Copies of this chain bind each other. A is one copy, B any other.
């Protein structure tokens, strides 16, 4: 994908401190100013206190799986790395910051800002496209505190929606089943242009097959789909307006000089059919003209939107007349799209119509014509369609998918867990908001059947869990919840994607298609009860016994003692 992006909006640039080349963010609006003002006021405070270079460790994580589910897909890492690879404030940006801070701020601070880059920042991350769970750091960011805080807002922005919409796509795939074609049609209803482009990228990552979004197709190499709209249908008045009526046979052997008449002949044959003729009488002539014209333009990929006037009384018969005429010339039509009404019922009726044609007119394969459904689909409606029984082969999903209608934000947070080697905790009256202190390593432990059993966080210097060795996994905040596990496989979750000035090896950013494959594979490897829609089993997230004790020691240490009055 690097090449695809390079062709896109931002030119390749050389990464300042390593030899590998990482291109800039997909969206050129992702700049160091894409942040909250308080990151700059804090930077000034740190600088004024001489604290700006203190080494800090932040965890980026979320607290609760979205959509009432028990899993999340992690996405957005590549965009974060692209962002920091080019992180550098321009003179223009510095001048704007100066104008936004009080005039009492010392001028030397802007010289400091001028010199900032991410060469001294280290980033450890779970690979993009992984199945992830609450509280476990998705990323651990280490570096000078002022610099790392300047990254916070953009990182959270880039990961929050990416992870949310990828998860949403995966959930739609889960309900639709593997055999269905899933098309993302959300651009027009997305939250802004970038919302649309990100949605297309991450829906594909989460298991969709194609998008309607041309820009996303170009940027990320996603297959494109689309045929025509209702406006196309109603823009025609009658077949008489079609002037160029000729169509070459698919094998090039001959030319049909009047395709329009051939279509009309087929429509009359359908009308004359004992079974089909009872379903419709006069079909809409605008629609017939539009379908015929579309068939002339795209004889090899004819797919028609059949609900502009009436699906069974007009759209389907008109479609079939054109499809049968194309069939005479060696072309195989693709199918129909339904965009309103009772999709389950209509798909079954249309299927019967197609099957009757196959039988009555001996057109082999006609009964298997593809049926696409669209119109405000979401997880619930897919589920309802499945329960009702339907004949849909392909779903076009827009609004609910890309805006994540069922839950439009994931609560990704970015918390300080250590500074100058001192562990830090953020308390809250709400225990789910208490942060887990310390620079940590995180492991996924697998059981005998190959499924992940539990994620465990441990202090950086603790010995890692070992295969075949019993280890105690504790709930971070609930004293009584703990379990022994003997892992059959141990996977370290956080890998180094940006080594900064350390000598660690940097993980390469995999091509987009590999991330997608990882995502699909990881979803398949989960124990099914975690993934089901209704009452899924929570996946366990734990801390080591040592980390548990330390959390609670620190908690008591920091919390003020109350006085009952």
Residue numbers of A with Cβ under 8 A of B are: 7, 9, 25, 27-31, 33-42, 44-46, 48-51, 54, 56, 58, 92-93, 96-97, 100, 102, 104-105, 145, 149, 152-154, 156-158, 160-162, 165, 185, 187-199, 212-215, 217-218, 224-232, 234-237, 241-244, 278, 280-284, 286, 293-294, 296-301, 307-310, 313-314, 340-341, 399, 403-405, 408-409, 411-412, 414-416, 419, 422, 424-430, 433, 558-563, 565
Q: Are B308's CB and A427's CB within 8 A?
A: yes
Give the chain B neighbours of A45 by CB distance below 8 A.
228, 232, 293-294, 297-298
* 28 A-B contact pairs sorted by A residue (CB < 8 Å): A25-B193, A27-B193, A29-B29, A34-B213, A35-B187, A38-B212, A39-B226, A41-B227, A41-B297, A49-B241, A49-B296, A96-B214, A97-B214, A149-B231, A157-B190, A161-B190, A162-B192, A189-B412, A192-B198, A193-B194, A231-B416, A234-B426, A235-B419, A282-B561, A286-B558, A309-B427, A310-B560, A340-B430
CA distance A353 to B433 in the complex (A): 27
Give the chain B neighbours of A28 by CB distance below 8 A.
9, 28-29
CA distance A185 to B281 in the complex (A): 59
Given A45-B294, A224-B100, A235-B419, decide whether A158 and B193 contact each other with a Cβ distance below 8 A: yes
Give the chain B neighbours of A558 by CB distance below 8 A.
284, 286, 309
Give the chain B neighbours of A165 by CB distance below 8 A.
191
Q: Are B34's CB and A157's CB within 8 A?
A: no
Q: Are B193's CB and A283's CB within 8 A?
A: no
Q: Are B194's CB and A297's CB within 8 A?
A: no
The 8 A-B residue pairs with the shortest CB-CB distance in the complex, in nearest-first order: A194-B194, A38-B226, A37-B226, A403-B408, A231-B416, A191-B191, A156-B188, A36-B212
The count of identical subunits is: 2
A299 to B, closest residue via Cβ: B104
A103 to B, closest residue via Cβ: B300
Give the chain B neighbours of A185 by CB distance below 8 A.
36
Q: Are A188's CB and B215's CB within 8 A?
A: no
Q: Are B157's CB and A51's CB within 8 A?
A: no
Given A49-B242, A58-B231, A228-B45, decide whether A193 and B37 contact each other with a Cβ distance below 8 A: no
Give the chain B neighbours of A409 by CB distance below 8 A.
189, 191, 399, 403, 405
Given A214-B34, A425-B234, decide whether A157 and B283 contact each other with a Cβ distance below 8 A: no
A562 to B, closest residue via Cβ: B313
Beyond contacts A45-B232, A149-B232: 7 other A-B pairs, Cβ-Cβ < 8 A, are A28-B29, A41-B227, A45-B293, A51-B241, A56-B235, A156-B188, A191-B408
Give the chain B neighbours of A297 by CB distance below 8 A.
41, 44-45, 48-49, 105
The interface centre, meaning the residue of A33, A231, A242 with most chain B CB atoms within 10 A of its CB, is A231
Given A104-B299, A153-B187, A298-B102, decide whether A313 and B96 contact each other with a Cβ distance below 8 A: no
CA distance A160 to B187 in the complex (A): 11
A400 to B, closest residue via Cβ: B409
Which of B92, B100, B158, B224 is within 8 Å of A7, CB to CB?
A: B92
Which of B192, B228, B244 is within 8 Å of A48, CB to CB?
A: B244
CA distance A157 to B280 in the complex (A): 38
CA distance A235 to B417 in the complex (A): 9
CA distance A220 to B160 in the complex (A): 25
Q: Are B194's CB and A192's CB within 8 A?
A: yes
